Chains A and B, each alone.
Chain A
Amino acid sequence: VTPETGIRVDASRCQGHGRCYALAPNLFAFDVEGYAVVATPAPANEADRQLADRAVDSCPEGAIFFSRDSAGG
């Protein structure tokens, strides 16, 4: 995964709301302090890519970024 594509969490913005791993436990996990980490940087199918989009929209701190590569993944 290049920096331009895939799922990314900005650790400096994450406040541990936990929306992302409640919404998409296959894509996100939490570290020992309860902050979000990416479990699956490159979602493999369209359903997971849509979940990633929802996680971006759901993060109250705007800490999640997801950009699809040119092939749509």
Chain B
Amino acid sequence: MTQRDTTFAVDEEFLRTFDYESPEYSEDPHSVLRAVRTASPIVRSDLYGGYWFVTTYAEGYRVLADPKTFSSSVTLVPPPEEPFDLIPVTVDPPDHTAYRKLMTPLFSPGEVARLEPAIRARARALIATYLSAGAGDFVAEVAIPLPSTVFLELLGLPQSDLPRLLQWKEAILRGRVAADDDVRNHALQVEIPGFLEYASTIVADRRAAPPTGAPDVLTGLVSGTINIDGGRPMTDAEIVSAVALLVVAGLDTVTNALAFSMETLAKRPDLRQHLAENPELIPTAVEEFLRFWSTVTTSRYTTTDVEIAGQLIKAGDMVSISTPAAGRDPAQYEDPEEIRFDRAVNRHLAFGAGPHRCLGSHLARLEMKIALEEVMTMMPQFVIASCAEPTHVFGHMMECTNLKLTIQP
């Protein structure tokens, strides 16, 4: 088994102060993760009041699949000041089960498949605009707007809401935690209240007038019953929270998965050509990109003392699971640093595992599949634009923030 030489060595002191928001990590996260994983499947850092950091597939899966021991009441280290609950992400069973029972069918493979023509039309239109403008930043022109236009389709909302949605998304995901006081205050005092008012209005509108066309997710949330308090509809506040979750969890995740896939293909003409000539490989290529570029580090709150990989995790301890590290765990994958579109078995934690496994995984896969299919048809030959290295932000999310491409004839 080949393993790239790590240029990064870790010692006790590094592990004790491990920080996935550190300069070393933001410079080259996978070298850091490889070194940490080589030291131990789970390490303890004293930062942020102390937390455990899991870097392997097996241990990561174990934590995610055991919500009784590892609660989702807190899912980020350090705990954020959330402007709203995110139903059902921050809810534990049994209430979690009740929300999921209503929401999961709305995102089932059969339901999302009905969106395929609409998603394809949106993808084509965005790529056509991108090409007619002479290419440029694929992230800003295609990878960012695509999931937001799909979000509007999914909820049965007009595409004319797109500019506002993109603005609110920025405020919710970045503005509210920005270092700049003005940016942060604007997000917290103007943008987020504006989004919550919008969400309340669309819920009220939908209650007043169900759509005449095919049922959408918003209609499903408004008209469904949840098994809480003996069975009742979701309240407006609960639906607003669920809509906020779709914004937080469903937009940038797809943007980054798609952007990293495109960056890889732009840098690897062999893979790009192979995929263009064999588009039937796109679904397994999507799985491989999801594994290789898993983007989320999520966390859990330990409810009882438990041992993992020989370490005693105490009740009250936070445990972070690095899905980027788990996706390249040599104990789980043969040649984990190699991108292969023909892995017969490719389990990964990109969508998590257990009861909180990503609600939108089938939609996310479909968006990525369609986007890559249309790319391979409309612009099969592309490379990184000269003198324009892609830019990234590597922290608790892995982000590709700028990807300038040149289209070859």
* Chain B binds chain A: yes
Q: Would you call B361 an interface residue if the criterion is a C-beta within 8 Å of the partner chain's C-beta atoms? A: yes
CB distance B345 to A33 under 8 Å? no
A58 is contacted by which of B105, B110, B347 (Cβ under 8 Å)? B347
Chain A binder among B28-36, B122-130, B176-184, B348-356: B348-356
The answer to whether A22 and B283 touch (CB under 8 A), given A58-B346, A60-B353, A61-B65, is yes
- B57 nearest CB neighbor, chain A only: A60
C-alpha gap A18/B366 in the complex (Å): 12
CB distance A30 to B345 under 8 Å? no
CB distance B105 to A18 under 8 Å? no
- A22 nearest CB neighbor, chain B only: B283
The answer to whether A60 and B347 touch (CB under 8 A), given A15-B354, A17-B361, is yes
Q: Would you call B174 an interface residue if the criterion is a C-beta within 8 Å of the partner chain's C-beta atoms? A: no
C-alpha gap A32/B102 in the complex (Å): 11
> Hey, which chain B residues are within 8 Å of A73, CB to CB?
none
Q: Would you call B104 an interface residue if the criterion is a C-beta within 8 Å of the partner chain's C-beta atoms? A: yes
Q: Would you call A57 an interface residue if the criterion is a C-beta within 8 Å of the partner chain's C-beta atoms? A: yes
Interface residues of B in 333-347 (CB under 8 A from A): 344-347
The answer to whether A15 and B355 touch (CB under 8 A), given A33-B104, A34-B362, A58-B347, is yes
Q: How many residues of A are in contact with the other chain, CB < 8 A?
A: 18
Q: Would you call B357 an interface residue if the criterion is a C-beta within 8 Å of the partner chain's C-beta atoms? A: yes
C-alpha gap A18/B108 in the complex (Å): 10
C-alpha gap A19/B186 in the complex (Å): 43
C-alpha gap A60/B347 in the complex (Å): 6
> Hey, which chain B residues are within 8 Å of A54, CB to CB?
344-345
Q: Mark A5-37, 1 if CB is under 8 A from B, else 0.
A: 000000000011111011000000011111000
C-alpha gap A60/B348 in the complex (Å): 8
Nearest CB in chain A: distance from B89 CB, A: 15
C-alpha gap A63/B359 in the complex (Å): 18
> Hey, which chain A residues are within 8 Å of B354, CB to CB?
15, 61
Dominant SS among interface residues on chain A = loop
Contacts across chains A and B counted by CB atoms under 8 Å: 53
> Hey, which chain B residues are within 8 Å of A31, CB to CB?
108
Name the interface size band of chain B: 20 to 34
B357 is contacted by which of A17, A32, A58 (Cβ under 8 Å)? A17
CB distance B346 to A34 under 8 Å? no
C-alpha gap A16/B358 in the complex (Å): 9
Q: Would you call B61 an interface residue if the criterion is a C-beta within 8 Å of the partner chain's C-beta atoms? A: yes
Nearest CB in chain A: distance from B233 CB, A: 19
C-alpha gap A54/B345 in the complex (Å): 7
Q: Would you call B25 an interface residue if the criterion is a C-beta within 8 Å of the partner chain's C-beta atoms? A: no
C-alpha gap A57/B347 in the complex (Å): 9
Nearest CB in chain A: distance from B201 CB, A: 29
B105 is contacted by which of A22, A34, A61 (Cβ under 8 Å)? A34
C-alpha gap A43/B110 in the complex (Å): 24
Nearest CB in chain B: distance from A49 CB, A: 15
Nearest CB in chain A: distance from B116 CB, A: 15
C-alpha gap A34/B105 in the complex (Å): 6
Nearest CB in chain B: distance from A59 CB, A: 8
CB distance A30 to B110 under 8 Å? yes
> Hey, which chain B residues are within 8 Å of A59, CB to CB?
347
Q: Would you call B109 an interface residue if the criterion is a C-beta within 8 Å of the partner chain's C-beta atoms? A: yes
The answer to whether A60 and B345 touch (CB under 8 A), given A15-B353, A32-B110, A33-B105, is no
Q: With contacts A59-B347, A60-B349, A61-B65 known, what are 12 further pairs, Cβ within 8 A? A: A16-B104, A16-B361, A18-B361, A32-B108, A34-B107, A57-B344, A57-B345, A58-B345, A58-B347, A60-B61, A60-B353, A61-B353
Q: List 11 A-B contacts (CB under 8 A).
A: A15-B357, A16-B357, A19-B347, A30-B110, A33-B101, A33-B105, A34-B362, A54-B344, A58-B344, A60-B348, A60-B353
